[in-house]
């Protein structure tokens, strides 16, 4: 009987952990609503980097792996050379911290990115908390 209770307790614990993980992913995705779409650093034209496909925006072929661009769709962030899952989004001072789980063709890594949206609709990416300038990105798609 003791073993049955233990197995039952473990099952309940796993179910709760899974529900917290799912609700955390949904919360991150909900917080990402203002970041959804294709973003490009000021300079190149959006049409030179992005193409529209049946379900949304993709990188124009052949992909320029050096393009300063990314696409956020749902809880996924893609660059020309990496695909990331957004694990969390949390405020930190005047910034938001995106915690990412990223994969390239040769490695995987946990990455933290500091961003902020500006009143004019642009986005700034900061290299660290001391960076006051950041890199500006324009939104190329809704």
Total domains, the chain:
1
- What is the pLDDT, as a whole number, of residue 142? 57
Identify the domain containing residue 106 by its residue range: 32-139
What pLDDT is stored for residue 36 in this prediction? Answer: 94
The residues, any chain, with a CB within 8 Å of residue 6's CB and separated by 6 or more, are none
| Structure tokens, 115 | 């961003």
- Residue written as tokens 């050096």? 66
Structural domain includes residue 99: yes
Task: Tell me if 135 is assigned to some domain.
Answer: yes
Structure tokens that stand for 63 in this block = 């992909």
Give the tokens for residue 47. 């049409």
Among all chains, which residue has been given the structure tokens 């063709």? 105
Q: Which residues pair with 90 in a beta bridge?
A: 97
With 60 as the cut, is the pLDDT of residue 98 above it?
yes
Residue 117 lies in a domain: yes
Each residue of 28-84: pLDDT tens digit?
555 899 899 999 998 889 999 999 988 789 999 999 999 999 999 999 999 999 999
Distance CA 67, CA 42 (A): 11
> What phi and psi values does residue 33 have, to the nearest 5 degrees?
-55, -35
Is the pLDDT reported for residue 27 higher than 70?
A: no
CA–CA dist 72, 90 (Å, integer): 16
40 belongs to a structural domain: yes
């Amino acid at each position: 009987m003791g073993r049955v209770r233990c197995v039952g307790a473990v099952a309940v614990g796993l179910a709760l952990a899974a529900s917290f993980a799912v609700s955390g992913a949904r919360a991150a995705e909900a917080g990402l609503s203002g970041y959804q779409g294709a973003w490009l650093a000021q300079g190149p034209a959006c049409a030179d980097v992005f193409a529209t496909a049946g379900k949304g925006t993709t990188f124009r072929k052949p992909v320029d792996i050096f393009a300063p661009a990314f696409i956020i769709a749902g809880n996924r962030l893609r660059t020309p050379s990496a695909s990331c899952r957004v694990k969390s989004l949390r405020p930190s001072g005047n910034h938001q911290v995106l915690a990412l789980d990223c994969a390239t063709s040769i490695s995987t890594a946990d990455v933290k990115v500091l961003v902020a949206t500006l009143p004019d609709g642009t986005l700034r990416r900061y290299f660290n908390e001391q960076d006051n300038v950041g890199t500006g990105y324009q939104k190329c798609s809704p």
